[in-house]
Amino acid sequence: MKRLLTLAALVIANWNLSTAHCQFPFRDTTLSVEARVNDLISRLTLDEKLAFLEHQNPAIERLGIKPYSWWNEALHGVARNGIATVYPMPIALAATFNSMLVNDVYAFVATEAVRKHRESLADGKYGDYTGLTFFTPNINIFRDPRWGRGMETFGEDPYLTATMGLAAVDGLQGNGRLDDDKGRADTPLMAAACLKHLAVHSGPEGVRHQFDSRVSNRDLWTSYLPAFEYIIKNSNVQQVMCGYNRLNGEPCCTNRHLLTDILRNQWHYDGIVVTDCWALNDCWEPDTVIPRHRTHPTAAAAAAAAFGSEVDLECGSGLAALKTAVDSGYIAEQKIDKHLRRVLRTRFLIAPDKFDTLFESSNSEMAFQAASESMVLLKNNGVLPLRKLNRIAVLGPNAADSAMALGNYNGTPEHQVTILQGLNNLLKIMDTPADEFVTGNPFSSIYFDTACHLVDRNYQLPRNFWKEVTQCDAIVFCGGISPALEGEELQVDMPGFHKGDRTMIELPETQRDMIKALRKQTKKPIILVLCTGSAIALEEVVDDVDAIMVAWYGGQEMGDAVATALTGLTNNFGRLPVTFYRATSQLPDFEDYSMKGRTYRYMDEKPLFAFGDGLSYSKFSYSDIAFDRETMTLSATLKMDGIMPGCQYPEGKEVVQVYLSSPSVDGSPRSQLVAAESYVLGMDSEPNPYRISIKIDPFWLRHYDETSDIMIPPAPGTQFTLEIKGGGKVTFTY
């Protein structure tokens, strides 16, 4: 295959070497990483060592070391560094329930990141957003749909978050993509990933710099920590970021119980712990602009507590405080060397020249595939797929909004497709279809109008609006919310939205009113395309629409993905990674971090749409379910029984979801996801039916033990039930 980088690219990967300095042993790539790290540490002064523990590493000219910034973002594509592919937001990627796809997406991101890193260094740029160390992925549990940053996560479920997070880490770092990758500690990396935010971090955004997340030990171990633990134990993830919030009274970045007792001693994690950016300032800085923790008297005291609690790297500007802490005897130089060893090890491991270009398709094709598989069809009374219509109305505030599709922490795409553009694109290509199974145009023309704003009521309908819409055969209403309303610490304060969070989860009233007016005035079929980063309560409009498709914030190819899904040119829908509640009234208090009443695992009431829900244009059935206790393998026969008229895609995707229940175990969830795999079958392709086989990882059978305050395996004789969603149950004894 074509090489991604030449061997000379080692120059740009970490150190930007010069010939004059090549005699130092730390330059010698034939030596072990440990030997190289030891050599470099022996050559550094104390001040130079300290400088490596802040995210903006300065140049050390006498050793030929160029500057380097640890801060880069790759949440769903390379961010904040010019032109880059924008993939769907992580909440949308989670909806695919396809960890292999997520792994490929992040491998594409890493490949693009290496190219952009090389370009930055060639231009003499060494600042933030130019390196190959990424503060990605966000694996916090999306416990409450009001949290504005929930779109950055992989949803509300520990298993789904863990498996998607692991796929993201392995994709970014290149894990398993080298022929000689044996899981060694010195295996080269394409880039370095970071698990964030440890731990129990999910709003409110407006008070996050002073907020104290109070949780029981049971909730901590069974909901908030499993994804971190699972990924740490199943990967060589290089970084873990501690959160802004306090955990049971102590700031996460100075929390010895969290960082020392759990992360280091129980999980044996020996990678980098990095602070969230300027998080240490919250420990000591006065409340001049925003409320803060103020748990430490001085910056030096906060630095001493953080680096004494296993923090290795500060994202921020606290170098002076760290030096004061060392000079005052709060931290020994030996401790500094321990932190520095971890930091340098990762920098030496990043060697993208070792990786070939492994991907045949383009970034745009991968972005389209990801967006296509993320669409979730929640309702369909037969109006979809759209076929053989004369004219459709494309309405709604998100139909032509390009910024909405990009989410947050995003790059700038070279091109992108809005929903309106995607539907218009079909008009241009359907007359000469490229695929043999495409049989004609689903509609002949489009009428477009915004129809209403996202929230406010100031939109003026054009004079001929109702006449035009009434003459259409179907209405595609593109509503929901946008990243301008939900996100990280936004300066937004309006009814239903505050500081990036939501105070109500209902579809905004102006949109509800427009949908009801469309139903009353036109009597035409209405398809609601919901653009969002979180769950939206739809009970007030669910009976007024004929179909509902959740499109999330789907990235640069979102428009084409929506268009092909609506018209049956694709048939690979995803499933909900979060619960869609009926109303805000079903939610506990936002600041209450107890899991009681939250998410599908613990809620008492029935939601409007449950976690894991989603329809297809295909019909599947299960039979002959069995479980092998010795190999922990669940098997079943999966059959595709049919496909809806008008669907032009010859295959269908079924997401096999396996849920575990154990009523005899005190405090266990009502049920919890323990396995999920996607299968694609066709009516006329072999094999159909297909015998599926899914292994259950014993990690997800553990339960919390009050006495030892840890997760333990089930006792012999414990009864469990495994249920395939929509496919039957099997009971076994452990």
Q: Which residues are catalytic?
A: 276, 486
CA-based nearest residue to 116, from 101, 100, 92, 132: 132
Q: What share of the chain is helix, strand, coil (3-state, %, to 5)?
A: 30, 20, 50
Q: Tell me the longest C-alpha to C-alpha distance in the chain.
A: 80
Residue 223 DSSP label = I
Q: Are strands 389-395 and 474-480 parallel, antiparallel or unpaired?
A: parallel
CA-angle at 131, arms to 129 and 137, nearest 5°: 75
**ω into residue 703 within 30 of 0, thus cis?**
no
Q: Exposed, middle or buried, 158 (CB in 10 Å: 0-12/13-18/19+)?
A: buried
CA-based nearest residue to 209, from 286, 133, 100: 286
d(CA 17, CA 465): 65
Bridge partners for 493 per DSSP:
498
Q: Are strands 526-531 and 633-643 parallel, antiparallel or unpaired?
A: unpaired
Could you give the angle at which helices 333-349 and 33-43 cross, rounded to 10 degrees? 130
Tell me phi and psi for residue 625, to 5 degrees: -75, 135
d(CA 606, CA 599): 11
Q: Where is 343: in which H helix or E strand?
A: helix 333-349
Q: What's at 74, amino acid-wise?
A: A
Query: In the sheet where 633-643 sits, what is the strand order?
Result: 618-628, 633-643, 690-695
Q: How far is CA 308 from the centre of its chain?
A: 31
| Residue positions counted in the chain | 734
Could you give the angle at which helices 558-566 and 419-429 cross, rounded to 10 degrees? 60
Scan for tokens 């800085």, then name that residue.
285
At 700, list the tokens. 């997800």
